[in-house]
Amino acid sequence: MRLSIAAVAQVALTGGLVHAASTFSPARPPAIPLAVRSPYINTWLPVGKDGGNGGYLAGEWPQFWSQHTNAWVGMIRVDGTPYTWMGAAADGPAAVDQTDFSYTSTRSTFIMNVGGKVGMNITFMSPVTPNDLKRQSLTFSYLDVAVHSLDGSTHDVEVYADISGEWASGDDSAVIEWDYSTASGVAYHTISRQQQNEFAENNEQAAWGTWYWATADGDSLTYQSGSDVDVRGSFANNGVLANSKDTNFRAVNNQWPVFGFTKGFESVGTESVSTLFSIGLTQENAISFLGQGEGLTTVPSLWKSYFSNGLDAMTFFYNDYATSSGLATDLDNRVASDSLSAAGQDYLTITSLSVRQTFGALQFCGTDSAPLVFLKEISSNSDIQTVDVIFPSIPLLIYTNPKLLAYLMDPLYINQESGHYPNTNAIHDLGTFPNAKGYPAGNDELMPVEECGNMIIMSLAYAQRTSDTAYLNTHYKLLKQWAGYLVNDSLVPANQISTDDFAGPLANQTNLAIKGIIGLRAMSEIAKLTGNSDDEKSFGDTATSYISQWQNLGINQAANPPHTTLSYGDGDSHGLLYNLYANSLLGFGTSFVPQSVYDMQSAFYPTVALEYGVPLDTRHSWVKSDWMMFAAAIASSDTRDMFIKKLANFISATPTNRPLTDLYDGNTGDFPGITFNARPVVGGHFALLALPS
């Protein structure tokens, strides 16, 4: 049985005994992204006091977003004395002193002091290259470990790292197989479930595919697979591994097989030397999809378009670190400079934590000439291609590559245009990840005004940013059908749920109505761009008429200060009018929704703000971070800065210990009884940066 020392470390931490205090910049987030690259490569370090150890890499187990331990152990020997730099192995050597942690959009970096003798810079980098599909298709992440002398003397140093079989199965009783080999200068362990279940999951982790855990091949490298006690003990005692393979394939939790590497460095001086690891999962097929034709089809992983097999993909990735690192720095710098100039350091604290999390929910599939991107909702449930989860995510996608909107919408269009959905409204989602089997019986979660509005708004946003009006022509029939639904149902929305379904159904939701009405205005624009002038006028007239009626129905002018209501006629109620953002995103400006509505909301929000944000509506003290940033993006500068400051404060203060939640209690910063985490909707934090210039 394996014991965790996390609890011990936490107690000791409180007394300041184990760890010297680390600094954290730009913030100490609730969980630190380690390898966050796709729905199945999604491993974090828990930080918050609900169960993390405060952000120290040594003394805590990395976890999959679902909280399953993904054991990842790092040790180092300096002149023969072993230390732990990652993980919480029982009986492991003492922890190194962590002196600093920092993060950027693509990197998490830890600075360690090893006994005053050696410094370590440990960098976890998960690339994000949405304009370079070949690189984006590679479902791998990097770990770079650099060491240098701190005291001016030279030291003999050995660096160790291993992973356990927990990466390859969400079920610890499943039997795994493994192997070790070398290719193209890369040494690698492979690990996979003995029983491969394509398109199945165990506790959210994939039940198929091959994991690669790799480093550079060379003379000073040793490797070993075997029980955790044997492999780690071999390093701690000897500084080398046995170059041996355990041949007894067994369950993940049967004497915990681990897969280790050790790299030796002689006479390390003040000049830094480093060793690079990579971790990733290859799956030939990624998604089962009800698309064209009658039955389910198999969608390949996108890397298959560029590489003939998983090994070639892995060795390319490993040997691409210099280029990949340069591209990562470019993105880090772009996000930093744009966020700082838009709204300052607090905003950068938010945006730079949101990039890997958003892309970590996306599975790049299909082919180079016809890419498809599938999204996993993550944690709220495991729905695939949820339209109202794609919608809040689009600011980051528009900011990085607007074509991603089409790659995400295409599966929805293909499914519905192939006659697989009977209803006249837009579908809500395509099923449960990774099975996009649709709803041929029309029995999806009913969110009709929300999804009709979302699809029309996203289609126009995509076409505006890419000039691809052909896309609008191709899908015109369906877009017009959805607009017809909005003509019927947007001004006076029936009792229904909106995207905030956790808050329950309600009739006449003011914020839902304006989404539908802006959707009609967008449909008029789509008709214009495609030369359908009758539709342009008809939808345009309806939108204009509705928006003026909406102002009478949805605004409490008598209140002090005046504000929009949660629902028509409920004067004391209020809510975040985040759907107004689409009016600005699509460039309709104040000729459609008057400036007075924007000004009124900007003046109102500060009057109802809680400690960590403005509540979503009067039903709860719950705050939704993505929608707050939508509201912030179109608010006066004072109100915008208030929103941003409160969200940045939440990131540092929340007691939650899971990947950034987008839903929390505005008074306590804790989960409101619902544990959303790691969801891609944090892409909405880029709302300020997605507006047209």
Ligand X SMILES: *[C@@H]1O[C@H](CO)[C@@H](O)[C@H](O)[C@H]1NC(C)=O
* Residues near ligand X (CB under 6 A): 111, 121, 146, 272, 424, 481, 484-485, 488, 492, 507-508, 553, 568
Tokens read off for 176? 């795994």
Place of tokens 């680390």: 22
Nearest approach, Cβ of residue 508 and ligand X (Å): 4
Residue (of 417, 443, 418) closest to 429 by Cα position? 443
Nearest approach, Cβ of residue 676 and ligand X (Å): 29
Nearest approach, Cβ of residue 660 and ligand X (Å): 24
Q: Which is nearer to ligand X, 283 or 524 (by Cβ)?
A: 524
Q: Which is nearer to ligand X, 13 or 146 (by Cβ)?
A: 146
Q: Which is nearer to ligand X, 4 or 121 (by Cβ)?
A: 121
Nearest approach, Cβ of residue 475 and ligand X (Å): 15
Parallel, antiparallel, or unpaired for β 186-193 and 285-289?
Answer: unpaired
Nearest approach, Cβ of residue 99 and ligand X (Å): 8
CA 468 vs. chain centroid, Å, equals 27
3-state secondary structure of 318: helix
Backbone dihedral angles phi then psi of residue 186, each to the nearest 5 degrees:
-115, 135
3-state secondary structure of 349: helix
Residue (of 639, 629, 623) closest to 688 by Cα position? 629
Q: Which is nearer to ligand X, 469 or 481 (by Cβ)?
A: 481
State the DSSP code for 525: H
Q: Which is nearer to ligand X, 161 or 241 (by Cβ)?
A: 161
3-state secondary structure of 493: coil
Q: Which is nearer to ligand X, 13 or 150 (by Cβ)?
A: 150
Nearest approach, Cβ of residue 408 and ligand X (Å): 24
Nearest approach, Cβ of residue 555 and ligand X (Å): 13
Backbone dihedral angles phi then psi of residue 17, each to the nearest 5 degrees:
-90, -45
Q: Which is nearer to ligand X, 154 or 649 (by Cβ)?
A: 154
Distance CA 186, CA 35 (A): 19
State the DSSP code for 416: H
Query: Is-contact 449 514, C-beta < 8 A?
Result: no
Q: Which is nearer to ligand X, 342 or 492 (by Cβ)?
A: 492
Q: Which is nearer to ligand X, 206 or 522 (by Cβ)?
A: 522
Distance CA 371, CA 8 (A): 48
Amino acid at 484: G
Nearest approach, Cβ of residue 272 and ligand X (Å): 4
Q: Which is nearer to ligand X, 470 or 494 (by Cβ)?
A: 494
Q: Which is nearer to ligand X, 255 or 488 (by Cβ)?
A: 488
**Alpha-carbon dihedral 449, 452, 458, 459, rounded to 10 degrees:** -160
Strand partners, 190: 179, 212
Q: Which is nearer to ligand X, 364 or 539 (by Cβ)?
A: 539
Query: Is-contact 191 210, C-beta < 8 A?
Result: yes
Nearest approach, Cβ of residue 537 and ligand X (Å): 19
Q: Which is nearer to ligand X, 58 or 478 (by Cβ)?
A: 478
Nearest approach, Cβ of residue 127 and ligand X (Å): 18
Nearest approach, Cβ of residue 134 and ligand X (Å): 27
Q: Which is nearer to ligand X, 309 or 495 (by Cβ)?
A: 495
| Helix, strand, coil share of the chain (percent; to 5) | 35, 25, 35
DSSP for 77-134?
EETTEEEEEEB--TTPPPBPEEEEEEE-SSEEEEEEEETTTEEEEEEEE----TT-HH
Nearest approach, Cβ of residue 568 and ligand X (Å): 4
Nearest approach, Cβ of residue 192 and ligand X (Å): 34
Cis peptide leading into residue 26 (ω within 30°): yes
Query: Is-contact 676 379, C-beta < 8 A?
Result: yes
Edge-to-edge strands, sheet with 23-25: 23-25, 97-103, 107-114, 118-125, 140-149, 273-282, 210-216, 186-193, 175-183, 250-251
Nearest approach, Cβ of residue 658 and ligand X (Å): 28
Q: Which stretch of DSSP H or E encloses residue 264?
A: strand 257-268
Nearest approach, Cβ of residue 651 and ligand X (Å): 22
State the DSSP code for 21: P
Cα–Cα distances in angstroms (integers) from residue 8 to residues 5, 52, 126, 234, 658, in the given order: 5, 12, 30, 24, 20
Q: Which is nearer to ligand X, 159 or 678 (by Cβ)?
A: 159
Tokens read off for 616? 């979503």
Residue (of 573, 622, 565, 564) closest to 594 by Cα position? 564
Nearest approach, Cβ of residue 580 and ligand X (Å): 20
Residue (of 278, 282, 259, 138) closest to 196 by Cα position? 282
Place of tokens 């208030």: 642
Largest CA distance in the chain: 81
Tokens read off for 93? 């050597």
Q: Which is nearer to ligand X, 197 or 272 (by Cβ)?
A: 272
3-state secondary structure of 280: strand
